[in-house]
Structure formats: structure tokens, C-alpha cells
Amino acid sequence: MNRDSEADDFSLVDYNYSLPGSAPGTLNIPDDAEPTELVLISYDAKESVRKELETPEDCLPYLKEGRVCWLDVRGLGTEVTLRKVGGIFDLHPLVLEDVVNVPQRPKLEFYEDHLLMIVHMVRPAKKGHGFSPEQVGFVMRHHVLLTLQEESLWDCFEPVRDRLQRNLGVLRQRGAGYLAYTLLDTIVDGYFPVLEDYGEYIEVLEDEVVARPTRKTLEKIHDLRRELLMLRRYVWPQRTVVNSLIRDGGDFLTQENRIYLQDVYDHIIQILDILETYREVSSSLMDVYLSSVSNRMNDVMKLLTIISTIFIPLTFIAGIYGMNFDPSASPFNMPELNWYWGYPVCLGTMGAIAIALFIFFWQQGWFENFSAPPSESDG
């Protein structure tokens, strides 16, 4: 279920929905979904325990008052395991349905004693620009946090796990709400490296559009605009999600956690501002491309015009002396045809005219675009 958006291979997302008429809570799990793995982290101010669970029931001994329980569900391919998790934590059937339907639009929903938050995290491409998105579901209770991820091979939560294990900062002194804020902040901050890669790529593409635009350049601009649009579709709804969580978090979040979430909201606004700037630049690149192609065509036409202009007087001379007049019939019928040096003089005159025109056009600066040495950006 990896949805890569590389520059050379970008496709729109295929949405996974239940069949029409399905009962509420039906889990429509794709065939390529990864098997479900469970990783539990239980901690308090004194200690932190990390354990890979064989079954969901193995987490029951760690569900104690005064401890925060973080159950990380990786992979959404094992329906039996997911339903057991839903039964242990008394999750609403629609929670599991929303989590399994990938990709789900980022949203925030409140239930009787828990809430569901769906967001998307991204990771930069291994080389160049691009990103791989992954949906993450958060289920929050008072001292329990569930995260449900599409994949098990990668996420951006490892620094948070390390902080819990080494007791860095105040993470282990706070509750599940502060843990949810920390994970959400990590997800949002993960967008900045992706945007940095796109910024560098846009600079390179700008130089290419101005210096040497080709048909491939047009395809790159088109792919860039689609990728930025897709990235905006992941970020824009998360702004509403975080804002709703700040205002309507209820008993799940303390006032202090809401202050921290406001910082996350500010980061999302900053990401959207950068995205909008990149989208405007990518749109202007199309105009620059058309202008560059037009300028190149004008240069070609100018060169052809110069060549034609040089040959016009030469063609005129050649046309005159190509007429069949007999010099012996009249002294006015091209007497120079009988000159001993007539042919060399004619060629010399034509050559002198061509050289004189060439020098004249050069002094006028009409050859600048053709005679200038290539810049460093041209390679």
C-alpha cells in the first residue's frame, strides 16, 4: 500500500471503500495490506516498558491506572487482530472501518469515551524530490493511546520512542494527551524535509526552463504541479483537525496540551504557506517555459532572416548574370561577360557584399544569442 510520488512515476491515489450496502463497521481490507504487528510501550515517571505482543490480550496486564499505555498497531492486514483490539478497548465499529479504509481524509471524530483522529505522515524520497504518504489513526482514551499505521517498516516515531526509553525531557511525566501531541508534532515536522527537497528541485527546474527547455521539461513541470497538489490535499485538512482538537478536545486534553497543539497548528499554517508559494512558482514555470520556447523560436527565425538577407543581394547578382543576353548584339548587353577577369570579379563582389552584411549585422548585436559562450547552468 505504498503510494510513492516520485518525479518520474507519479499516480493519483486509489481509494479503498466498502461495497455499497455493506453493514456499518465492515472492514474492507485490501489484499496487499501488511499483516498486523503490535508493539506496546507502557510507562510512568519511573520506568518505561517496550514489548512486542503476540496477541492483543497480552496488553491487558499493562493497562493500569497511573501508567500511560501506547499500543502501536502496525499494518492493517489482519482482521482478527484488529477486531480483538477493538473489543479490548471497546472501540466503536466505525473507528476500525475508518482506519482500514485507506486513504481516509484527515478528520477528527468524538465517541462516548474515546476519540478518533486520522492524519497523514510523509517521508522524503530516497533520492531527489518526492514523498511517500502513510495514513495514521490516533485513538485516544484517558490514559491509553492507540496508533494504527498502514505499514510496519517505517514511521517517524522512532525519536519519540527513544525519548521514552531514555527518559529525555518531560514526556514520561505527562499523560496520553501529551504523547499524542508529541507524535502529531513529529508527523507535522516531517513535512519540512519534503518541502526542502521540493524547493531545491524547483530552483534546478527554473534554471532548466530558462536555459534549455525541452519537452521533458514540460513533463517535469506537469508532474511537479500534481505532486504539490497531492501534498496539499494531505496537509490542508489536518489544519482543521488540529484546530478542532484544540477547541473541542474535551477531557482528553489539558489546557497545557492545547497550548502545545497551538504550536503544531502554527507549523501547519507555515507548511501551507510554503506549499502555496511553491504552487504559484510551479504555475509560473509554465509561462516561463512558453516564453523561453517562444524566445528560442524568435532567435531561430532571426538567424534564418539574417542568412536570407545576406543571400538576397547575392541572388540578385546571380539572377542578373543568369539572363541570356548576347554581348555581340549590342554594347549594352552585359559587356562584362567578355571581360577576362569577369567571373572572379563577380564572385569577389558577391563575397565582399556577404562579408560586409555579416559585419554590419554583428555590429548591430544580432548574433549575441548565438555567439555568447554557454553559461555554467548550461553544463
Q: What is the CATH number of the domain that holds 94?
A: 3.30.460.20
- Are residue 337 and residue 216 in the same domain, yes or no? no
Give the DSSP letter of residue 153.
S
- Are residue 151 and residue 212 in the same domain, yes or no? yes
- Are residue 231 and residue 325 in the same domain, yes or no? no
Residue 14 has pLDDT above 80, yes or no: no
On whether residue 268 sits in a domain, the answer given is yes
Residue 16 has pLDDT above 80, yes or no: no
State the burial class of residue 301 (Cβ atoms within 10 Å of its Cβ: 0-12, 13-18, 19+): exposed
Query: Tens digit of pLDDT for each residue in 159-192?
Result: 999 999 988 888 888 889 999 999 999 999 999 9
Q: For the chain, how big is the Rg over CA atoms in Å? A: 35
So what's the pLDDT on residue 10? 39
So what's the pLDDT on residue 4? 44
Query: Tens digit of pLDDT for each residue in 100-154?
Result: 888 788 999 988 888 999 999 998 887 778 888 999 999 998 889 999 998 877 7
Better pLDDT: 206 or 374: 206
So what's the pLDDT on residue 151? 83
- The whole-chain average pLDDT of the chain stands at 83
Look up the pTM and report it.
0.75
**How many independent structural domains does the chain possess?**
2
Separation of alpha carbons 279 and 281, rounded Å: 5
- Are residue 340 and residue 272 in the same domain, yes or no? no
Residue 326 has pLDDT above 70, yes or no: yes
Confidence at 370, pLDDT banded by 50, 70, 90 = low
Residue 45 has pLDDT above 80, yes or no: yes
- Are residue 272 and residue 364 in the same domain, yes or no? no
Which residues have a Cβ under 8 Å from the Cβ of 127 and sit 6 or more positions away?
none
On whether residue 296 sits in a domain, the answer given is no
Q: What does the DSSP assignment read for 24-46?
A: TT-----TTPPPPEEEEEEE-SS
So what's the pLDDT on residue 184? 95
Residue 12 has pLDDT above 50, yes or no: no
Query: Tens digit of pLDDT for each residue in 195-209?
Result: 999 999 999 998 888
For residue 144, the SS3 value is strand
Residue 377 has pLDDT above 80, yes or no: no
Better pLDDT: 304 or 245: 245
Residue 3 has pLDDT above 80, yes or no: no
Full strand arrangement of the beta sheet holding 144-149: 48-53, 37-43, 68-74, 144-149, 131-140, 115-124, 107-110
So what's the pLDDT on residue 117? 94
131-140/144-149 β-pairing = antiparallel
On whether residue 238 sits in a domain, the answer given is yes
Better pLDDT: 342 or 75: 75
- Are residue 156 and residue 266 in the same domain, yes or no? yes
On whether residue 312 sits in a domain, the answer given is no
Task: Please provide residue 64's backbone torsions phi and psi, each rounded to the nearest 5 degrees.
Answer: -115, 150
Domain boundary among 290, 312, 345: 290
The boundaries of the domain holding residue 362 are 321-378
- Are residue 368 and residue 252 in the same domain, yes or no? no
The mean pLDDT value for 326-352 works out to 81
- Are residue 178 and residue 281 in the same domain, yes or no? yes
So what's the pLDDT on residue 120? 93
So what's the pLDDT on residue 18? 59
On whether residue 357 sits in a domain, the answer given is yes
Task: Please provide residue 358's backbone torsions phi and psi, each rounded to the nearest 5 degrees.
Answer: -60, -45
Residue 372 has pLDDT above 60, yes or no: no
Better pLDDT: 13 or 193: 193
Residue 27: CB atoms within 10 Å: 17
Q: What one-letter code names the amino acid at 11? A: S
